[in-house]
Amino acid sequence: MTGFLGWLAGSGIVQGVIIGGTLAFLTTLLLLDAVARRHSRSVDGWRSFPEAGRPGTGVLVRAALQKALPVVNVFEEAAYWTAHADAARKRLTGAHAYRIHFPAGGLPPAGAFWSLTATDVVGYMVPGPEGRSSVDDHSGIVTNPDGSVDILLQPSAPDGPPQNWLPTPRGRFTLMLRAYLPGPAITDGSYTPPPIVQVA
């Protein structure tokens, strides 16, 4: 038995299996990412996945969308947008400050509620001061005189209203915007979140 194991180790079969398995795994990841991109919408750095959670889309599409956005409801119950980069296609990072400007009446139309959260690159929320990890329609957001809303994203407290501040991690991060019981403007694709603009 010892002789066989020695022969097996020196034959290259083990190395071939390891290399083959690694290449198969990496190929699968690339394939799933490509399928997810094909079945998503991208506007101003935001990506949405209208087919996520929907039955009848096929095993490959379901697997790809679950990898991109795990454990989600169908789009008509909860719409999700993710962003890894700003409007200039630069990676989001706590080294900069950003602003999202919602025009008057431009907050996500949701029958239940909406929320904006920042996570680290793994997907874990990083609570800011006083445990705040999101801005939502229950945050007491302060509107501008024209009815528009500016949400500020940065690690430290800004000069503006604290209710409009979303604390971000110091390193790279991802944004997720959710709208529960989204309105018709979301489900028909006519609503898109405003761009994420670097301001500092």
Write down the pLDDT at residue 60. Answer: 56
Q: Residue 182 CB: number of other CB atoms within 10 A?
A: 23
- In angstroms, the first-to-last Cα distance of the chain is 66
Residue 63 has pLDDT above 70, yes or no: no
Residue 32 confidence (pLDDT): 46
- Under the banding of pLDDT at 50, 70 and 90, the label for residue 39 is low
Q: Which one has a higher pLDDT value, 69 or 174?
A: 174
Rounded to an integer, the average pLDDT of 94-106 is 96
Is the pLDDT assigned to residue 166 strictly greater than 60? yes
Model confidence at 61: pLDDT above 60? no
| Per-residue H/E/C for 134-169 | EEECCCCCCCCCCCCEEEEEECCCCCCCHHHEEECC
Closest listed residue to residue 133, CA positions, set 113, 149, 147, 153: 153
Mean pLDDT of the region 172-194: 93
Residue 157's pLDDT is what?
87
The tokens describing 136, both together, are 């939502």
Task: Quick: pLDDT tens for 14-26.
Answer: 566 666 666 555 5
Query: Which one is predicted more confidently, 15 or 91?
Result: 91
DSSP-assigned letters across all residues of 37-76: HHTSEEETTEEE-TTTT-TTS-HHHHHHHHHHS-S---TT
Q: What is the pLDDT of residue 42?
A: 73
Q: What is the pLDDT of residues 117-129, one digit of tens each?
A: 998 887 777 767 6
Name the CATH superfamily, with its identifier, for domain 39-198. Answer: Domain of unknown function DUF1214, C-terminal domain (2.60.120.600)
Round the average pLDDT of the chain to a whole number and report it. 80
Calculate what percentage of the chain has a pLDDT beyond 70.
67
Q: Angle formed by the axes of helices 2-11 and 13-38, to 10°?
A: 50
Q: What pLDDT is recorded for position 2?
A: 63
**Contact between 44 and 98 (Cβ < 8 Å):** no
